[in-house]
Structure 1
């Protein structure tokens, strides 16, 4: 009985604490929004220098990009003068995905380090005083993570007395290609394939209506499917065996075997991460360390054990699956190509779908007589999955190219300047080969940004803002809505929607009581005013 009462008391205290937190967050958000409206409105700036902040998921990024006009061609070029990126894959690896509250706390700890790094290594003669604007990812992404980035951006813009530019995360990915190839002209088609998104976007211009989503995923993203299949075939164990290490060694870092391995929701197929200064070490060192070493670039947990020198034996889940597939027979395991053949409602539709293919792989792995601990079996399953997934991507890409070539898509008729493939999965050689083959069929040149610009980073945020500030197009800066701070859902090319958080349980009840009390107070005030008028 005493234990039950104590439990009820704890639950009541927790509910009161959550309600108080909701009040505080609502108050802070409103105050920040009011402060952001008081900042100087963004306007055209010739060759701006922009500081960008990225906190949409589990990567904390702060970067400075300085732009200039090219001497030949007159197009805008960008120079990265400072770049800080802290990944949280070690934090989320044991959970099998990104935990939003943990990610938010990590952003809260990492942002001061990133801003300090920007101040101490900006590469600008006047330091941050030379920054013309502060840019921040305002969506899409995890609300609790976007909030931290927005708060930091508002405070920094106030301190520097410069405009705040809110950037769409997906548009930043699309425009990142023009940082590596500034001569690229609109329109161009983009295949964005990562752990969080898989879509085809036609980029026609900057700002409202300038980006058209031709197709997106109906369920899982390509990177997510790669990661889940990698866990299903126990790719970490095979990486450990290849390295001559014990797969059950407790010193193994991160993911590896079976369902216990974790890949963040945003985990894509990235390159191997070299051992760098960790965030814990940086925090312990405080201001005494060179924060330029705090760069962990790729998303997702490392695969396989870590040696004593701290270097990861293998790469990340998607990249490790690609290496395993290279040794397998893709014809040994028949797997379906999504949305091809049959009479399903989505057959032949311009969309991506990987959930069914992923489920088919899991069924094969769980079939009697199939032992994924045998490398030959795992490699065959991996090869078959990769071929089906890449074939599906190729099918959808050809549909989009044909639509643009036929003029069925406004702004894309026979005039594509390039086909861009970006995102963490863009590092996959099979994906690149399929994209190149599809583009060659339609006579469109292919471009893939460096892997560093494919995954989430603050460089692309700063560059997207620089492009918009430099542009003479009136719509370039018209997509951000100043009635909202951040928007977890925000399609590229659309105006930023107002985010209304969904409250549940005690938070929802508390909000309802606040609204009822406010309505009652307003009604009482109106009645009192009416009585005063009648008394006169």
Structure 2
């Protein structure tokens, strides 16, 4: 992944010995060997803009295109890549506390999710401090329940996988702290997982024929992302949101329409939209003049808000208490909003497919994942786009589209098999330890045609000392 990653706290771990360093370099080599002649063949290493460490180990780990360090299995008792693995996945990036245990053959042994639906309804969205407190209150129970349902103890595990970004920093910290406590106590390696990569790779758990390269559209409350997945840890970013994500637009619209937010805005809008006329409001499709694959929902939100004001809709009156005429107006707005919001997705996917096939003609699949991918209207519309372009649509089941521990555990398994993980942390790690979390963590290197000057995201960089290391490694491979 262009912002590749990252082992937890690489810069705070002791500097490696010479033999350990040489082993790590050897582990890096397979990632540097060109495999194809397209852009997917060799991504060009880059690292997270949040990295500031100058140590060799930190730079090396940041340079890889994986989500985790390239340190091979050096600890006694850790199964090798081909052995049967049992991985606990922990997810606390936003408003759900989730844990799951997954076997390396794809068997889901347990899945537990504690929702913060009541908090969402009370605050009309995610309140970071409240969300952190809610995670802290239930994290121990959720993890223990996941182990109990799998009929396992911590000693049976091969590794712990945990989301380290992107997400809300306060929330991410809760999951990382729990993961490191377990890993330290039971001498287990840790795999730091990119939340959006996990949404992408969970499709490989449910769709056994899904091989690289493939495309992915990741849509949720915080993200809109179109990527070309060239290989594990190697992604080309075709488009992303320049302001608000589609899920956030759904939530805001639902709130303004006085809908029940306990299930989040997406399901509420989709249900009400079935009663409305999708062409009653002529909302403009976002970014029609921009010939790229980026997304913007801020303008559509403004159009919706003005339409609501023009009909004198009072969000304080719940939809269940609205008059027949008022309910009809709300349904029309919901349907019109949904039509244009999804049309924006369709248009961007059309162009992204064209770009992806130029880069890698062998692409056959588009994965659609993330919370909004549970929306049946979204799926049906995108299925038409995909079929028209000769591709196949792959959508994980709705229970694996929203944030969950299964996707984190599976992504951990994929990277662990490649030897990409961090060694166990010390058992006596202090409570005030500074965890390496990545609230802002782009996935993949931007495709040149998709770059937008409007975006504030920093460009990936290559550390000067790393360039010579990579060139030396490539030279040795070629010789």
Given the two structures, how large is their TM-score scaled by the length of structure 1? 0.63
Quote the offset at 1:41 in angstroms.
5.2
Q: What are the within-5 Å matches in structure 2 for residues 329-478 of structure 1?
A: 329-341=277-289, 347-367=290-310, 373=322, 374-405=326-357, 407=358, 409=359, 413-471=360-418
Please give the alpha-carbon distance, in whole angstroms, between the structure 2 residues aligned to 1:84 and 1:63.
6
1:201 Cα deviation after fit:
1.5
1:299-338 equivalence runs, <5 A: 301-302=261-262, 316-338=264-286
Structure 1 CA distance for aligned equivalents of residues 15 and 380 of structure 2:
45
Alpha-carbon distance in structure 1 between the residues aligned to 2:209 and 2:387: 21
State the aligned residue count: 360
Which range moves more in the overlay, 83-92 or 181-190? 83-92
Distance in 2 (CA, whole Å) between partners of 1:369 and 1:109 is 41
- Structure 1 457/37 Cα, relative in aligned 2: closer, same or farther at 3 Å? farther
Match of 2:139 in 1: 111
Structure 1 residue 179, shift from structure 2 partner: 1.0
What does residue 111 of structure 2 align with? 83
- The answer to whether structure 1 residue 185 and structure 2 residue 185 are counterparts is no
Asked whether 1:99 is paired with 2:127, we answer yes
Per-residue deviation at 1:371? 8.0
Find the aligned partners of 1:55 and 1:220 in 2 and give their Cα distance. 21
Does residue 51 (structure 1) correspond to residue 88 (structure 2)? The answer is yes
Q: How far did 1:32 drift?
A: 12
- Choose 1 or 2 for highest CA Rg: 1
Q: Deviations over 1:421-478 (max 9, x none)?
A: 111211222211221111111110111100111011111111001011224xx7x559
What is the deviation of 1:35? 9.2
User: 1:425/1:30 Cα in 2 relative to 1: closer, same or farther (>3 Å)?
Assistant: closer
User: 1:84 aligns to what SS in structure 2?
Assistant: strand
Q: Is the 8 A contact 1:64 1:80 kept in 2?
A: yes
Does structure 2 conserve the Cα–Cα contact (< 8 Å) formed by 1:190 and 1:420? yes
Question: Per the alignment, do residues 92 and 389 of structure 1 end up closer, same or farther by CA in structure 2, a change over 3 Å counting?
Answer: closer
Q: Is the 8 A contact 1:51 1:63 kept in 2?
A: yes
**Whole-Å separation in 1 of the counterparts to 2:312 and 2:174:** 50
User: Contact 1:48–1:469 (CA<8 Å) still a contact in 2?
Assistant: no
Paired residue secondary structure (2:310): coil
Q: Tell me, yes or no, if structure 1 residue 169 matches structure 2 residue 195.
A: yes
SS at match of 2:104: strand
Residues 1:216 and 2:240 aligned together? yes
> In the TM superposition, what is the alpha-carbon distance from 1:123 to its structure 2 partner?
3.1
Give the direction of change, closer, same or farther, for the CA distance of 1:339–1:90 in structure 2 (3 Å limit): same
Between stretches 376-385 and 165-174, larger displacement belongs to 376-385
Tell me how far 1:338 sits from its aligned partner: 0.5
Equivalent residues of 2:266, 2:372 under 8 A apart: yes
Over the residues paired in the alignment, what is the CA RMSD in angstroms?
2.8
In structure 2, the CA distance between the partners of 1:42 and 1:159, relative to structure 1 (3 Å rule), is: farther
Structure 1: state its 5+ residue gaps: 1-28, 69-77, 237-255, 257-300, 303-314, 342-346, 495-536
Q: Distance in 2 between matches of 1:196 and 1:351?
A: 14
- CA separation in 2, counterparts of 1:378 and 1:36? 60
SS at the partner of 1:190? strand
| Contact kept in structure 2, 1:33 and 1:485, CA below 8 Å | no
What is the CA distance between 1:396 and its match in structure 2?
0.1
8 Å CA contact 2:191, 2:415 repeated in 1: no
What's 1:64 paired with?
Answer: 101
Counterpart-to-counterpart distance in 2, 1:80 and 1:371: 45
Summarize the Cα distance change of 1:50–1:137 in structure 2 as closer, same or farther, 3 Å threshold. Answer: same
- Report what 2:477 is aligned to: none
SS at match of 1:123: coil
Closer, same or farther: CA 169–370 of 1 in aligned 2, 3 Å: closer
Tell me by how many angstroms 1:31 deviates.
12
Higher relative contact order (CA 8 A, sep 6+): 2
- State the 1:191 CA deviation: 1.0
- 1:120, distance to aligned residue in structure 2 (A): 2.5
Q: Any idea what SS the aligned residue of 1:366 has?
A: helix
Q: Gaps spanning 5+ residues in structure 2: where? A: 1-7, 18-68, 74-79, 316-321, 423-433, 446-479
Q: Is the 8 A contact 2:218 2:369 kept in 1?
A: yes
Q: Does 1:196 align with 2:222?
A: yes
CA distance in 1: counterparts of 2:366 and 2:310, whole angstroms: 40
3-state SS of 1:189 partner: strand
1:93 CA displacement: 2.5
